[in-house]
Amino acid sequence: MVKRNPTAFLGEEVKSLKEKNLFWHVRVLDSASKPRAIVEGKKVILLNSNNYLNLATHPKVVAAAVAATQKWGAGAGAVPVISGTNRLERDFEEKLAKFKGVESALVCQTGFAVNAGLIPQLAGQGDVIISDELNHGSIIDGVRLTKAERAVYKHADAEDLRVKLKEADGKGVRRILVITDGVFSMDGDIAPMPQIVEACEEYGAMVFVDDCHGEGVLGKGRGIVSHFKLQGRVHVEGGSLGKGFGTFGGTICGSRDLIEFAFNKSRTWLLSTAQPPSVMGASIAALDVIETEPQHVENLWKNTEYFKKRANEIGFDTGMSQTPIIPLMIRDSGKAQEMARIVFDRGVFATPIVYPMVAQDKARIRAQMNAGLTTEDLDEALAAFEYAGRKVGVL
């Protein structure tokens, strides 16, 4: 009999991650998530939040969460299909569908749960899923759960997608599902949706876009489908309430048939407790703010353009960014980790992104803009990045 230590690999793996500068150092917020925050007792400029429109602390959103809790309680009480769907959730779904210009919408527990639960139901044995090579990990995991054949096309390359579509079509498969992120979370670039849709329409393929980082950002907050005026031509829109909306949860938007299919088939939705009433109340308020207070989206893009321009002038490579996600390409994991430590000491909280989130030679610090940041905030952050960049030798 072999004598084994069943958990020895845990400590060994952690040690290896630390030695390779790939270990995640998790810092703790001591305040709300807002442009000027307190992290581990230190006042910092927060440049690593998905709270793009600064709605997580908007007075109307916070008040709505409190009011919903007082009226409806702290928890939903059950999974949605049993007794967990309350009137607030249904009201939000109706408002979201109208906002997005689709027939119907469904609130899910998380954006990850949307992909892990829905993708395996949309394609299976005898089908082909074609996915962008830089798609989010939740899409990759959702695809792995299917029995469908898989193909990957070159990042944002509609011509390579067309080649893969032709190959799939030639096999006489039952169904073709094409999946792409709308805004790619590591590089901040935008999927070429018009070309993707045109290629898919030629071959009768279903189009699924994960728009978690596009909602609240593109198309006056409505997302990438609205941005490119493709309503009715994208079959599945996956979304997130935890980013531009400033609340929590995932969403599916599309036809009534899609939504009824999803809530009968997606096991992550069927088998997870429904959203707390506070989240639904806050989400309704956030949607109202996005529609009635356009200055938040406008400020977000103003800050994005200013920061990117100044970062480039300093000498940083901001990669392919087209959105408020702005990578400062460092390439070396150790230098990225060290830069993050230096700027934190100087009052800027930004996160180093290293393998396996990105390729080994693509380490970066990902700066994320927020509508509530001022020009003074950005200048202070840029000065810290410039100091750190020169200190570690990347400028």
pLDDT band at 203; cut points 50, 70, 90: very high
pTM of the model: 0.95
- The predicted pLDDT at position 1 comes to 87
Pairwise CA distance, residues 318 & 309, whole Å: 10
Residue 363, token pair as written in the block: 């380490």
Q: Which of 292, 311, 342 corresponds to the end of one domain? A: 292
Residue 380, token pair as written in the block: 């202070």
Alpha helices in the chain (DSSP H): 8-19, 59-72, 87-100, 111-122, 137-144, 158-170, 193-203, 224-227, 256-265, 267-270, 277-292, 295-314, 333-345, 375-392
Element (H, E) at 239: strand 236-240
Q: Is the pLDDT of residue 142 over 90?
A: yes
Query: Residue 235: phi, psi to the nearest 5?
Result: -80, -35
Q: What are the C-alpha distances in Å from 93 to residues 13, 21, 88, 360?
A: 43, 43, 9, 41
Residues 357 and 208 in one domain: no
Residues 215 and 335 in one domain: no
Residues 44 and 170 in one domain: no
Radius of gyration of the chain (CA): 22
pLDDT band at 75; cut points 50, 70, 90: very high
Residue 200 belongs to domain with CATH number: 3.40.640.10
Residues 268 and 120 in one domain: yes
Residue 349 lies in a domain: yes
Q: Which of 185, 278, 321, 333 is catalytic?
A: 185
Pairwise CA distance, residues 329 & 311, whole Å: 11
**243 part of the active site:** yes
**Comparing 156 with 360, which gets the higher pLDDT?**
156
**20 part of the active site:** no
Residues 287 and 299 in one domain: no
Residues 41 and 63 in one domain: no
Residue 7 lies in a domain: no
Residues 283 and 344 in one domain: no
- The predicted pLDDT at position 358 comes to 86
Pairwise CA distance, residues 393 & 164, whole Å: 42
- The predicted pLDDT at position 360 comes to 83
User: What percent of the chain stands above pLDDT 90?
Assistant: 94
Q: Is 254 exposed, middle or buried (0-12, 13-18, 19+ CB in 10 A)?
A: buried
Report the domain count for the chain. Answer: 2
Residue 343 belongs to domain with CATH number: 3.90.1150.10
- The predicted pLDDT at position 24 comes to 83
Residues 31 and 125 in one domain: no
Residues 167 and 95 in one domain: yes
pLDDT band at 20; cut points 50, 70, 90: confident
**213 part of the active site:** yes
Residues 238 and 213 in one domain: yes
Q: Which of 34, 100, 164, 213 is catalytic?
A: 213
Q: Which of 58, 136, 243, 308 is catalytic?
A: 243
User: What strands lie across the sheet with 348-349, from one edge to the other?
Assistant: 36-39, 42-46, 348-349
Residue 65 lies in a domain: yes
pLDDT band at 127; cut points 50, 70, 90: very high
- Condensed to tens digits (0 to 9), the pLDDT of residues 24-54 reads 889 999 999 999 999 999 999 999 999 999 9
Domain that holds residue 326: 22-52+294-392
Residues 309 and 229 in one domain: no
